[in-house]
Amino acid sequence: MKTREPLQVLGRLYVPYANWVGETTSQFLCELRDKRRLRGTGCSECGKVFMPPRSVCPTCLASLETWVDLPTTGLLMTYTSVHYSFGREYQPMDPPYLLGIIRLDGADTGLCHFLGETSFEELRVGMKVEAVFKENREGNILDIAYFRPIKAAS
């Protein structure tokens, strides 16, 4: 029997798909889109508030059925700048851009999101920030355009 070398064809495969995000995330995204409202889930067992919302508490494994309204303000816990590109289909904007982890006031966990109306040099851990919503919202996390620093009154 004659053996052959395997044929290898290099290329890129694009597979479009729809992703079901579940009941909890769906409700969260609908609130963002329709009401510009940030809501987390609260644990009735240990008292923690999760943002982004979850359906199960990772601390005590209780079911999270209580919704908690959160303000659009919070603290910047950490931040970085992104200067590389790995494809526009995977990044919602072209670099360079700023990312931060924001712990909304009243929440116990952080939300990773874009930072805007600022520079890397102006950012500080612990600074107060607020959400800026897009005018035309579509029902995804990018309905929050970015978080910007809250300027102290002089």
Q: Could you read off the pLDDT of 85-100 as tens digits, one per residue? A: 887 777 888 899 999 9
How many CA atoms within 13 Å lie on the side-chain side of 114? 18
7 is a domain residue:
no
Edge-to-edge order in the sheet of strand 38-42 = 49-50, 38-42, 66-70
85 is a domain residue:
yes
- Looking at residue 154, its pLDDT comes to 57
CB atoms within 10 A of CB 103: 16
- Looking at residue 96, its pLDDT comes to 94
Q: Which domain holds residue 102?
A: 22-149
Average pLDDT of the segment spanning 28-55:
96
103 is a domain residue:
yes
Q: Is a pLDDT exceeding 90 seen at residue 1?
A: no
4 is a domain residue:
no
Number of domains in the chain: 1
- Looking at residue 5, its pLDDT comes to 83
56 is a domain residue:
yes
14 is a domain residue:
no
Residues in the chain: 154
pTM: 0.85
134 is a domain residue:
yes
Locate 98 and state its tokens.
Answer: 């700023």
